[in-house]
A and B are shown apart, each in its own frame.
Chain A
Amino acid sequence: MLEVNGEMLARGARAGLKTTWELAKVVVPTAMLVVIFKASGLLDVITDFFAPYMGLFGLPGEAAVVLFSGYFVNLYAAAGSILALSLSTKEITILAVMLTFAHSLLVELPISRKAGSPIGYTLLIRLGCSLGSGLILGVILS
């Protein structure tokens, strides 16, 4: 039988609150930043520039903001960008799959290296799977 006691509940709740706080610290500023991008016209510049590349994945140009915030910062930042943009569920799904393969690279590549995988190798397989899955989903879902 499962044993449940107050200490477990407290530890779990603490871990959940901690995650929520980490989430809030990133999601709220990112959403605000992207909203500023939008209002200042910077987003249009980014959108126009990346439109041809993002098109390969069946995504609009502005999705580049989501992809970069996920690759370089983390999934919370990507979520914050998604919240501030108006993307369709299909587009969010494609971005989600691409980002689950590769995210928080600046933090996670060194972690993998510590565990014995060279940075170049991990970067190659993660980015490869990310871009590959984007290409495939871009074709399947559109």
Chain B
Amino acid sequence: MMVLWEGFLQGLKGVWTVARVVIPLMIVLEIAQSNGLLQKLNRRLARPFKAIGLGEEGAFPIVVAMVFGLTFGSGVILNHVQEGKVSPQETKVIGTFMALAHALIEDTIIFMSLGAPLLILVLPRVMVGYFMAYLVHRRNQHTMLTEGHNIQSVN
């Protein structure tokens, strides 16, 4: 019984450590979102996203996923696909980036509260996500070029 109690207390302590950061943070995020700051962030990030073949509409699911998590980012993508705002090529790039770098705030808080340093929790995910997305973009370009070439040679 003592053992169970010890585990219970350790668990609660962990919950408290995370909760005292998560609750204020969620309030800040809510204020940011209600004020349209996400859209502003999206516009600021336009240039690096352009290099991996994404316009403003294509970058938005990634920004949403990075801040709020994969479920929300996927929701935005689904919406965009239905409305024809992103191409199948863009979807691949977005999906790759999102799978590796999402919920950056929440995931980072969990491990920071356990003692891991901030930068090593954020930078590798964003950098590797970006790099892999870039590779997918290059591959998209390559496929489009060779397909275009084939069509020309058939004609």
User: Would you call A30 and B95 a contact (CB within 8 A)?
Assistant: no
Query: Does B48 lie at the interface of the complex (its beta carbon under 8 Å from any beta carbon of A)?
Result: no
CB distance from A127 to the nearest CB of B (A): 11
Enumerate A77-135 residues with CB–CB distance to B below 8 Å: 79-80, 82-84, 89, 92-93, 96-97, 99-101, 103, 108, 111-112, 114-117, 122, 125-126, 129, 133
Contact B95 A115 (CB under 8 A): yes
Kindly state the interface size class of chain A when it binds its partner: 35 or more
Q: Which of B51-83 contact A (CB under 8 A)?
A: 61, 70-71, 73-74, 77-78, 81
Q: Which residue of B lies closest to A25 (CB)?
A: B15
Minimal beta-carbon separation of B101 from chain A (angstroms): 9
The closest CB in chain A to the CB of B71 belongs to: A111
Shortest Cβ distance from B86 into A: residue: A116
CB-based nearest B residue for A28? B11
Q: Chain B contacts of A2 at CB under 8 A?
A: 31, 35
A36 to B5, CA, bound (A): 10
- Enumerate chain B residues within 8 angstroms of A9, measured Cβ to Cβ: 27, 30-31
Q: Given A35-B7, A117-B96, A19–B30 Cβ distance below 8 Å?
A: no
With A20-B22, A32-B7, A83-B11 known as contacts, the answer to whether A100 contacts B128 (CB < 8 A) is no
Q: Is there contact, CB below 8 Å, between B6 and A35? A: yes
Complex CA gap A29/B10 in Å reads 10
Q: Which residues on B sit within 8 Å (CB–CB) of A39?
A: 3
Q: How far is the CA of A84 from the CA of B23 in the complex (A)?
A: 24
Residues of B within 8 A of A17 (CB): 23
Q: Is the CB of B124 within 8 A of A133?
A: yes
Interface size on B, residues (CB 8 A): 57
Q: How far is the CB of B43 from chain A (nearest CB, A)?
A: 17
Is B8 within 8 A of A20, CB to CB?
Answer: no
- Which residue of chain A lies nearest to B108 when distances are taken between CB atoms in the complex? A100
| Mask of B129-149 contacts with A, CB within 8 angstroms, 1/0 | 000100000000000000000
A residues within 8 A CB of B106? 19
Query: What are 26 A-B contacts defined by CB distance under 8 Å?
Result: A2-B31, A8-B31, A12-B27, A12-B31, A15-B26, A15-B29, A16-B19, A16-B27, A17-B23, A19-B23, A28-B12, A31-B11, A31-B14, A36-B4, A38-B3, A76-B110, A79-B18, A79-B114, A83-B13, A89-B115, A96-B111, A101-B124, A108-B99, A114-B78, A116-B77, A122-B99
Q: Measuring CB to CB, which residues of chain A are less than 8 angstroms from any residue of chain B?
A: 2-4, 8-9, 11-13, 15-17, 19-20, 23-24, 27-36, 38-39, 75-76, 79-80, 82-84, 89, 92-93, 96-97, 99-101, 103, 108, 111-112, 114-117, 122, 125-126, 129, 133
Please provide the 3 A-B residue pairs with the shortest distance between their CB atoms, ordered closest to farther.
Answer: A12-B27, A16-B23, A35-B7
